Structure 1
């Protein structure tokens, strides 16, 4: 922290109106207090008062935080000031957070189902549920905006480039296979679907990333994804391919 904040006091100007309380203002106040600051909390209670404040200080948004005579800025600037985030120019436009969240929740759900069904966290069915639930949750992400997904998907999927409707069918096929595999039903139908879309996806990703060395965003978590196309995307496709082979094999082996 800078020497100017040694007194641990800050002035915060935020919108608090009858029909609107700025969420970033609340977050700024909470962050300052968690950092040990005594906050002089100024409410901007009308549109006119807010506009006058912004014009006076030459800013376009509120909230605004001041430490001593120095204006820190809005909530994002406050996080940079406290070194919780890097400066904007140093930030990466890619993240693995969405897929980490999806796979983590799918794993915990699979373990929970295994515990409920078999009284143990570790079971073969837990592994199957992990893959099928991951497929289903990933499909939900895509189904929120199928057109946006299809646009990003067309950047690299080989089949979709030859037959564009496949880019819109894919999320439904993934959800369909994932749901049936979670239930252990209609394996004769879900397994080929999973194997087919997984294999095409794996080949497409390998070609785009490892042969052509292209830097692309992955459509795996939807069309607004910031997840880079690469190892994680390839793993997802290989998991679906493996499930497409394993599920019918299990039925044959276990009768």
Structure 2
């Protein structure tokens, strides 16, 4: 498939048969703003050396997943940059939900997309000079036996036959629309993004364990997102603001 819908949603859209990392490839092009403008996209169905958050590896059998990276060139106040991965998570969740209407699709803070509590997509945002690269991996044709962990899922496992072109087109258009709204207002609450992220959240209102930098651990209740997209966790009578950490949803016994 040549992704005709997705191509129309991007400034530049390149498909490669195989690569180590679409994020790394875009990073190599980030300095060339003329050839690689805002909303340039790189896609593959075979990424061999992908990375997730916290430097975790992300590997999938060839043809069983999509890896897509987007180059973002929009001036944002530094306090708003933390919203970019959240915006990407919401945009991907909306795009997945459009093709799995009978499933519960939500976002685990900051940007893991879950289908019925199992992860179907992960997102990694990285700074590249004046630009930001947003990479996403989406499990498409992966079978139950190919899933890396029991908490993962795919379109195939979730009972859906994914339209990859539509998925990417929806994701690109939604991400760009949310980003432009944030740039125009400079405020996630005024733009409505805070409300959208809150509505899509699988984390808020739940008991969580957050692994913080420095091997610290925080147990509490995920209470809210603040104006910068950080997670507010209530624990021991205090509110703790988390800007970076690995969140685990604690299940009731």
TM-score by length of 2: 0.24
Q: Which has a greater percent of strand? A: 2
| Higher Cα radius of gyration | 1
Q: Which has a greater percent of helix? A: 1
TM-score by length of 1: 0.24
